[in-house]
Structure 1
Amino acid sequence: MAAAGGDRGRRQNPVPSSSSERIARQQAKLTRDLQSAAEMAAGAVGGFAGHAALESAMEEVLYLRQRDQQLMDQVTALVKTQRVMAETYQAAQAAADRREAEYKEAAAASEARAVAAEAAAAASRRREASMRKQLKSQAKTIAALKVQRNEARKGAAQPQCQE
């Protein structure tokens, strides 16, 4: 009975035996290991997720850099196009200014020719009037000379009295 009583005593007041302690320690260690493994797995998943997020972020940065470069290239092309357009506009404006100056010069020359032609026409009219006057004067002189000649002829044709 002692053995039975001894067993009963153990059941009533269990004393950890070395094997139960060992099992409890192993279970605690296993629990800790599982917890650590779970944390490591979560960390690994987080690490993979973090790595994937980092990789995604790097891809996004690369895409944004490429997009930024494309935009800068477009801006550069637009600036060059704007510069060419400005130079073309300036050249066209300079050509228009030259044409306007040529037109003004031609108009001034045409006006000067018109004034000169008007002056020449006025001078021609004055010469014509002067020549008419001279012709009238010469016609009067010729008429007076004819009258004198006719009178002289009449006088020469009349017999003169001899005394």
Structure 2
Amino acid sequence: MYRNWLLVAPAIGLSPTAASAQTPPANVSAAAPDGIVAAMTYAGYLAELSKDGVGDPMIETELAGWPGYIYFYGCQDETNDNCQSVRLSVGFDRKTPMDPKALNTLASDKLFASFSLDEEGDPYVAWDIVTGDGIPAAVFFKSLDNFSWMIDDVSQTVFENDE
């Protein structure tokens, strides 16, 4: 009977591998970029780990339908690991430069986010999360969701009157 159970369990998705793939991580930390990728994948986000221009980890993703990046900060200079925080970032490529006053108005009621313009006047939105040794994955997921909702809202304003 035991042997028959071993044959049936994988077929119905009860293998240890399948079960663990469905278990959300308890915590995430910038010190473990692979764990953040796993958490994002679990939550349904696209997440591809790469490196930025100085060799720190970077995750390429999509937030609210826009290409986005997660940059890692506070990393060890020599080894580019043991990072302490992440920055969620999305940029918008407008046809015309955005007026800095309009960006300031937009930013005035967006808690936790920072806004900037690049040299072409395209707006960028960022949201920093300090993880240190780890934060609950649920808090990280909530931050991703809140940032995504804000990006969806901001994108509508960013492209208003962009001719």
TM above 0.5? no
TM-score category of the 2 structures, normalised to the smaller one: under 0.3
Structure with bigger helix share is 1
What is the TM-score of this pair, normalised by structure 2? 0.19
Higher-Rg structure is 1
